[in-house]
Structure 1
Amino acid sequence: MPARRRWAALVILLIAEAMNLLDSTIMTVTAPVIHADLGGPASAIPWFSAAYTLPFAVLLITGGRLGDIAGRKRVFRIGVAGFVAASVACALAASPALLITARAAQGAAAALVIPQTIGLIRSMFDGDELARAMGGIGPVMGLAAVCGPVLAGVVTHADLLGSSWRAVFFVNVPLGLGVLAASPLLREDRSARRPRLDLVGTALAVLGMGLTVHPFIDGGGAWGSPRPWAVPAAGLAVLAVFGAHQRHRGARGRSALVETGLFRDRGFPAALAASVLFFAVINGLMMVIVLQLQLGPHTDVRSAGLTLLPWSCAMAVSSWIAGARLVPRYGSRVMFAGLAALLVGALAAVAVYAAGPATSYPWPLPAALAACGLGQGLFAVAFFTTALHRVRPHETGSAAGLLNAAQQLGGTLGVALLGAVFFHAVGVSVTATITTTGTSVADAALHGARNAFCAAVTALAATGVAAVLMHRPRRGPAPAECPDRTVKSRAGYGGS
């Protein structure tokens, strides 16, 4: 395969990766605008994001298996075509229910696309060229993370041809069609040993995750009554059955969705818990910031997106510094430096919200958000490097899939739970439409944002505890260093 064709094919794969990350972050800024346009209950706001991230999280590993079986190029093209079609459906949605359904289709299509990219890159490059190709993933993901909220705010504010928020979905159409048109450049690749699909395991994972998360996202009902708690309890029971099913398949030598050996000591489960907690904080706070700006000082969507720019830029810069300089020298200690910086930023934001006033733009806030972004970049690179360094080579794919799924699940829960804290202070029922304005609502929004950041501080403390538990020595021979450094470089750049 000629070198020029290989590098052109790499560009195609990186554009597909960026499309996924852009669509997982655009709701940070556009969700309130969509709610104002389409109406419906306030509970629809977190679902605009969760409907994408949940299918994406639970179907990632199955999507990778489909590529092993049917061919990664073929599954990649099917996924991109589905993603484009779902994006058009999102742009044309006339109600919250239709948009949420289309977002779920988008997430499922992304779960077909993303697992194929690394395998396709490894099939086209060798030696030093492979390292260079893999090294391009991290910066592209960092740039997409920076551009996502800002691009969404700018495009929505521009109101191109009266399209408002719908234009952010139409952007995917030329990008996706371009990827499909250039996809013949890709080389077909499939696993030499084709695993079987674990359809029962996939169904159990989807059902268990959905039941566990749904009540927290929906927010409806009285949490003091038995019925709402019965739903996540049933979900946890289904996930327990899923775990037993995976152990049973592994014991019989059959293909399982996850490597059960990852759970033989506390280190990897602690890493999953840390991932869920950390990304719950990141994604939840970003949504709360935008909601407060739009309900309080009535900041337009472009300014709200630009407010997040210091966070995104600081995250991108600190991620690069951490990967190139700090983690190779200081190792996992960089995780705790990142958590400390994020705590400083969160506490500074609490002080900004406490000072008010509610109806004016909080000008000190961007500096606090820059500290948060600094902490995110330092923590994420060190965390994924540490979590995957403990993993044995044959467990790497399963571990990376689980960590990415935990990241998406954490983002979903963060939007739901920190959003619930915010709406509780605002006094808007999640079953009602947000239509009220005025000084009282602005004051309540300021109070809600402060409460959400205080809750985030507690979650960050729990993240620190989980990070400490990751350091417990693993029984048995030490695993070889993770050969797939791409997972380390690409993970942790995104939000939901």
Structure 2
Amino acid sequence: MTPDVPPPPAVKHGSGLSERQKSLAYLTLMVALVLEIVDVTIVNTALPVIERDFGAMAAQAQWVAAGYSLAFALLLMLGGRLGDSWGYRRLFVGGVGGFTLASIFCGLSGSPDQLIAARVLQGSAGAMMAPQVMALVQVLFEPLERVAKLAWVGVIGGLSAICGPILGGLLIHADLFGLGWRSVFLINAPVGLCAMVVGWRLLPDARSSNARGVDLAGTLLFAGAMAALLVPLVRGADFGWQVWHFALLAAAPVLLALVWRRTRARAARGTAALFAPELFAEPQFALGLAIALLFGAATGGFLFVFAFGAQKLLGYSPLQTGLLHIPFSVGVMLGIAFLGRKLLMSRGKGVLVLGAGLMALFAGGSLGWIGCASAWASALASPWAWALPCLALAGTGMGMTTGPLTPVMLARVDTRHAGAASGLIKTVQELGMALGIAVVGTAFFAGAPRGEVGAVWPAIAVIEVLLAACLLLALRLPARLFPEHDA
């Protein structure tokens, strides 16, 4: 899961920096990467507290989480193209500045709508910042040096995503300066300011020698298509599914078709396009992209409902909820670092099938534990004894799927399109997260009896459908995933 990787920049690697300066510059990039990724999931632990403080509606809570991922996904490829044209350092520092300012707005928000707007701004700034991390790693280091540096990018990114809920619980429990949930956002301010200062002083001023501009109209058209899809899914139940909800849903595929037609036409003319259409000519990439979208939706929905349900249905504190994520996080790292990596070459698509199956079985079991514990708490002598193994195995399934999926998708992609393909993968993963929060969250809130805060069983049903579709698509992958297998 890497941001968009631009063509090789037209500068000398390192730009005359000492080893110490390059290390500080690299650390600055990693700090920014952590900020961007953590803020995708850290808010899940804080949402019930935010809802209580503001008296927010369920749909507003969903948009606080989904608004960030949606804005990030829609603007990620645009951020990569702007970095190529305007300079990576400029976009990076500007993106960190916008992210920091948006984080302050989040922490000072006085209403749910203000918080949603600030989260959208935060995701937009993150999309300007994130692609420059990979580009600047290429600028700073020689090809052999990059191997270890890029490996750490993957490890740090994975740890950041799964540690977000834990960090959120710890910050809310600590209640720094009496800020409560607001500290989840305001802690970004000093970190972001330091990253801006160090980044401007140490990062090289480089840009691509092969910049092709941006397709702003295509980006806006794609954003309109996603808004037409997600707005009815999140707000339809609140307004009783009126005619305009169905009209927007019907408009979404039409707008997507226009995006596809426009992108193909611009790519054929050699002008800047939203993505490379020829990528979809490779069946393995297209299938993998569909799996990434559905699996991202399932995991995004699961993490949202689990954090929300543990607090609202079981009465757990944010700290307890954060600590509950530890076995899930350990399972994810086990699945990515050991099982998925070691078994992929020998077991092929079987690793993805097994991972999706484990996630389906034990994510459902984890949420089922919340449903049972909330209904029959007195009958469960030691409820955590059931929850912790389920969470660890669900995390293992997630790691065994997400870890190998990106290499599988890129295995047969022409290296000329590696950057565009990586950017598209990251975009689809983030869109999946937003879609999952919308669809699974709506099932959670809409399925509850009147007067109740949520119901896990309808949410489980949607998650299981999404994961079953992932499993079926994984079975359709070719037996030989890598060119090395062809011999």
> TM-score scaled to structure 1, two decimals?
0.88
Of 452, 466, 469, which residue of structure 2 is paired with 1:462? 469
Matched, 1:58 2:80: no
Matched, 1:118 2:142: no
Distance change (3 Å), C-alpha of 1:347 and 1:151? closer
Distance 1:85 1:101 in 2: 12
Map of 1:206 onto structure 2: 223
Matched, 1:395 2:420: no
Residues 40-78 of structure 1: CA deviation (Å, up to 9, x unaligned): 322101100111111100111110000000100111000
In structure 2, what residue type is equivalent to 1:155? L
Matched, 1:375 2:391: no
Deviates more, 1:320-329 or 1:292-301: 320-329
Cα root mean square deviation, aligned: 2.2
What runs of 5+ residues in structure 2 fail to find an aligned partner? 1-16
Of 404, 413, 433, which residue of structure 1 is paired with 2:435? 413
Map of 1:77 onto structure 2: 93
Residues 59-105 of structure 1: CA deviation (Å, up to 9, x unaligned): 11110000000100111000000000000000000001111111111
Give the Å deviation of 1:237: 0.9
Distance 1:159 1:84 in 2: 20
Distance 1:383 1:249 in 2: 29
Give the Å deviation of 1:291: 2.2
Distance 2:342 2:463 in 1: 29
What runs of 5+ residues in structure 1 fail to find an aligned partner? 429-435, 482-496
Distance 1:248 1:230 in 2: 27
In structure 2, what residue type is equivalent to 1:277? L
**Alpha carbons 2:440, 2:462 under 8 Å: kept:** yes
Aligned length: 463
Matched position secondary structure for 2:272: coil
Distance 1:166 1:351 in 2: 31
Matched position secondary structure for 1:78: helix
Note the 1:226-241 alignment, pairs <5 A. Answer: 226-241=243-258
Map of 1:341 onto structure 2: 358
In structure 1, what residue type is equivalent to 2:175? D
Of 58, 65, 90, which residue of structure 1 is paired with 2:106? 90
Of 286, 310, 325, which residue of structure 2 is paired with 1:293? 310
Of 403, 408, 418, which residue of structure 2 is paired with 1:386? 408
Distance 1:287 1:62 in 2: 27
Matched, 1:128 2:144: yes
Distance 1:480 1:52 in 2: 39
Of 9, 34, 37, which residue of structure 1 is paired with 2:53? 37
In structure 2, what residue type is equivalent to 1:333? G
In structure 1, what residue type is equivalent to 2:300? N
Distance 2:229 2:258 in 1: 14
Distance 2:409 2:375 in 1: 41
Distance change (3 Å), C-alpha of 1:208 and 1:100? same
Note the 1:435-450 alignment, pairs <5 A. Answer: 441=452, 445=454, 448-450=455-457
Matched, 1:356 2:373: yes
Matched, 1:244 2:244: no
Map of 2:10 onto structure 1: none
Map of 2:287 onto structure 1: 270
Give the Å deviation of 1:139: 1.7
Distance 1:480 1:408 in 2: 30
Distance change (3 Å), C-alpha of 1:228 and 1:18? same
> TM-score scaled to structure 2, two decimals?
0.90
Of 313, 316, 324, which residue of structure 1 is paired with 2:333? 316
Distance 1:453 1:104 in 2: 28
**Alpha carbons 2:236, 2:242 under 8 Å: kept:** no
Distance 2:224 2:472 in 1: 29
**Alpha carbons 1:391, 1:479 under 8 Å: kept:** no
Distance 2:346 2:198 in 1: 41
Deviates more, 1:345-354 or 1:63-72: 345-354
Give the Å deviation of 1:472: 8.4
Distance 2:282 2:154 in 1: 30
Note the 1:72-221 alignment, pairs <5 A. Answer: 72-183=88-199, 184-220=201-237
Distance change (3 Å), C-alpha of 1:235 and 1:480? farther
Of all paired residues, the percent bearing the same amino acid is 32
Deviates more, 1:175-184 or 1:332-341: 332-341
Distance 2:160 2:138 in 1: 22
Distance 1:117 1:311 in 2: 27
Give the Å deviation of 1:216: 1.1
Give the Å deviation of 1:316: 1.7
**Alpha carbons 1:198, 1:255 under 8 Å: kept:** yes
Distance 2:99 2:59 in 1: 25
Distance change (3 Å), C-alpha of 1:40 and 1:146? closer
In structure 1, what residue type is equivalent to 2:461? C
In structure 2, what residue type is equivalent to 1:253? G
Map of 1:20 onto structure 2: 36
**Alpha carbons 1:266, 1:472 under 8 Å: kept:** no
